[in-house]
Amino acid sequence: MSTLYDGIAELVTNDPAQGDGTALGVISDGAILVEGEVIAWVGRQVDAPAAAQRVDCGGVGVIPGFVDSHAHLVFAGERSAEFAARMAGLPYAAGGIATTVAATRQADTATLTAGVGRLAGELLAAGVTTFESKSGYGLNVADESRSLVVAREFTSETTFLGAHVVPAEYRDNRDAYVELVTGPMLEACAPYARWIDVFCDRGAFDVDESRAILTAGRAAGLQLRVHAGQLGPSGGIQMAVQMGAASVDHCTFATDADIEAMAAGDTVATLLPGAEFSTRAPWPDARRMIEAGVTVAIATDCNPGSSFTTSMPFCIAVGVRDMNFTPAEALWAATAGGAAALRRDDIGVLAPGKRADFVCLDAPSYIHLAYRPGVPLIRTVVRGGQRV
């Protein structure tokens, strides 16, 4: 069954071969032909091929579905009091993670599954058609593997983050925890994960520990992603590039040398505007990274501590306002950039053969995502060719 979506005033394809020839490949008065789960054709509406059925988008803007390459959705409880204390002046530190670990270990699996389901629904309503989710609030063999089994019900982009922090019971024996993460925990978790991640930062894991954990993960068949440079410069960003990680995330305290390394390597810098917003951290400068030649993604970092948002439009607006993205760069970062951070070439671009994942906006242009902050502009979400 083929469906032609037309009446698209401004169609962002992320295919520079299309339309205006910019990175966004913007086609005016465009149309998309969908066959099953994939795109069969995109172009000007006047050139559209015949289709079995037609959907008139009503003269709005259409963009690729957002790709959220960084989220922590499997957890129990919430930390609003910690947020309020921070807004009253307390600094953010990795220590708050322990609160969520305690709640997550106590929760039954149905509660964890319902929590992920609720957040996955919020992401979809916000236009996110692909998302990643990490473990990292179990921090023992049973609860880390259980977290990944739960995440797997909702996404194939699952990430083992046993190295989120050292849990309290190993505080005086860090080496034993690293042995657990690289041994029995990895063995139990690898079957349910595509990725391994490590929080390489002050109060979490140092560069040597992180390297050992990533090396073990790779040997177990997982691909690499890294949290680094959130709380201070740690050496984690350059370590991630050296290890060939797909993405290094946060980069709040990226140095010139870090940016140079990212530009020379093929590790994406994933910026997380919700985290700087919710922890009152300094803003990383996306402009500096993009101009240096770094591939930059935007993700929500949805988690109960540092960034409890599922709204990619909010992250885009903050990215534009405070991280010096242009609206075009921010949209690219939240779609094609996220796809690059997940090393996916089937999503993030609207072109023949790609997955039919796109969003009809309640606005004539994608610029409104930043221009009208906080306004719900996601009208219709099409995922795998299905309106959801």
Binding annotation for Fe(3+): 70, 72, 227, 301
Give the Cα-Cα-Cα angle 35, 41, 46 (nearest 5 degrees).
120
Residue 100 touches which member of Fe ion, ligand NIG, none, C-beta under 5-8 Å by kind:
ligand NIG
Is 278 a binding residue for ligand NIG by CB under 6 A? The answer is no
**CA 321 remoteness from chain centre:** 19
Is 301 a binding residue for Fe ion by CB under 5 A? The answer is yes
Question: With contact defined as beta carbons under 8 Å apart, do 109 and 146 qualify?
Answer: yes
d(CA 8, CA 27): 9
Both structure tokens of 271: 């910026």
Is 227 a binding residue for ligand NIG by CB under 6 A? The answer is yes
Is 68 a binding residue for Fe ion by CB under 5 A? The answer is no
Among 133, 210, 230, 300, binds ligand NIG (CB under 6 A): 230
Which CB atom, from 143 or from 301, has the smaller least distance to Fe ion?
301
Q: Which of residues 35-74 bind ligand NIG (CB under 6 A)?
A: 72
Among 130, 210, 306, 335, binds ligand NIG (CB under 6 A): 306
The span of 60-68, 166-174, 299-307, 345-353 binding ligand NIG (CB under 6 A) equals 299-307
Residue 258 touches which member of Fe ion, ligand NIG, none, C-beta under 5-8 Å by kind:
none
Which CB atom, from 72 or from 146, has the smaller least distance to ligand NIG?
72
In this structure, the strands spanning 53-64 and 358-361 are: antiparallel
Is 96 a binding residue for ligand NIG by CB under 6 A? The answer is yes
| DSSP bridge pairs for 125 | none
Please measure the distance between the N-terminal and C-terminal CA atoms of the chain and give it in whole angstroms.
17
Dihedral angle computed from the Cα positions of residues 205, 79, 112 and 315, in that order, rounded to the nearest 10 degrees: -80
Which CB atom, from 12 or from 237, has the smaller least distance to ligand NIG?
237
d(CA 198, CA 94): 13
Tell me the one-letter amino acid at 274.
Answer: G
Q: Give me the residues that bind ligand NIG (CB under 6 A), please.
A: 72, 96-97, 100, 199, 227, 230, 275, 301, 303-307
